[in-house]
Homo-oligomer: A and B are copies of this chain.
Amino acid sequence: MHVFYTPDISSDTYTLNEEESKHCSRVLRLNLGDVIRLIDGRGGLYEAEISGITKKNVQLKVINKQAEFGKRNHQLHIAIAPTKNIDRLEWFLEKATEIGIDEITPIICDRSERKIVKEERLEKVITSAVKQSLTAYHPKLNPTISFTDLIKQNGDSVKMIAHCMEGEKPYITQITKPSQSYLILIGPEGDFTPAELDIALQNGYKPVTLGNTRLRTETAALAACFEANYINR
């Protein structure tokens, strides 16, 4: 069944915007009475019937609604240094959305080769992954901030920093429990600097390893995502 993302749905009727209406009527060639799926990005999964249709205006009537669809009992927030090649970050966003993530914050680190990201573009990547994977909760993309600003933020998450420097580094699963909130920092190509690691440790971040293999930034982030979800099955 075709899925549409309707974050502003608030009643049992809904009108698709012009772009979505065109897609629905012209591309998908759906007609009066056809049923589509809607997700609001806040846990709502709807089945809606086309009650009125023109090329630019598709009206829907909700015939079935499921709340808290696929709700998870843990919160996963990954703060990641945007990759030099932005495709790799976009790829991570798509995959993390499929697997399950709640919050993503792009962070600019000392060794970041990329200091600027187009958030609108990243939002689009996330939204299309939400639709494709039927994830009822739209992951939240936070504004890009500096590593230092992020570190100073408070919160009740289990805070972890995945780095490649020497030292005692347990696995994520060794220092976390299910049903917690997790915040995991993933550094840029070339890793965090020792100074950044120190600041993180001083602010209650625990160093973690993602295994013995050398992982690219986006692979490391996805590995962390898999592991945090794994212990919450």
Cα–Cα, bound, A95→B171 (Å): 20
* Alpha-carbon gap, A133 to B216, bound state (A): 8
Closest to A225 in B: B226
A232 to chain B, nearest CB (A): 10
A229 and chain B: residue at smallest CB distance: B211
Known: A223-B226, A226-B223. A215 touches B91 (CB 8 A): no
Q: Is A219 positioned at the interface, with any CB of B under 8 Å from its CB?
A: yes
Interface string of A97-110 (1 = CB under 8 A from B): 01110000000000
**A218: nearest chain-B partner, CB-CB:** B95
Say if the beta carbon of A212 comes within 8 Å of chain B. Answer: yes
Known: A98-B219, A99-B219. A70 touches B227 (CB 8 A): no
Task: Among B95, B211, B216, point to the contact of A219 (Cβ < 8 A).
Answer: B95
What residue of chain B has the Cβ atom nearest to residue A226's Cβ?
B226
Do the beta carbons of B233 and A230 come within 8 Å of each other? no
Q: Which of B133, B215, B223 makes the CB contact (< 8 A) with A214? A: B133
Known: A91-B91, A223-B226. A98 touches B133 (CB 8 A): no
> In A150-172, which residues have CB < 8 Å from any B CB?
171
Residue of B nearest to A95 (CB): B219
Q: Are B135 and A98 in contact (CB under 8 A)?
A: no
Is A202 located at the chain interface by the 8 A CB criterion?
Answer: no
- A135 to B212 alpha-carbon distance, docked (Å): 10
- Give A150 Cβ to nearest chain B Cβ, in Å: 26
B226 touches A135 (CB 8 A): no
List 22 A-B pairs, Cβ < 8 Å: A70-B212, A95-B219, A95-B222, A98-B213, A98-B214, A98-B216, A99-B213, A99-B215, A99-B219, A99-B223, A100-B211, A100-B213, A132-B216, A133-B215, A133-B216, A134-B214, A135-B214, A171-B233, A211-B233, A222-B222, A223-B226, A226-B230
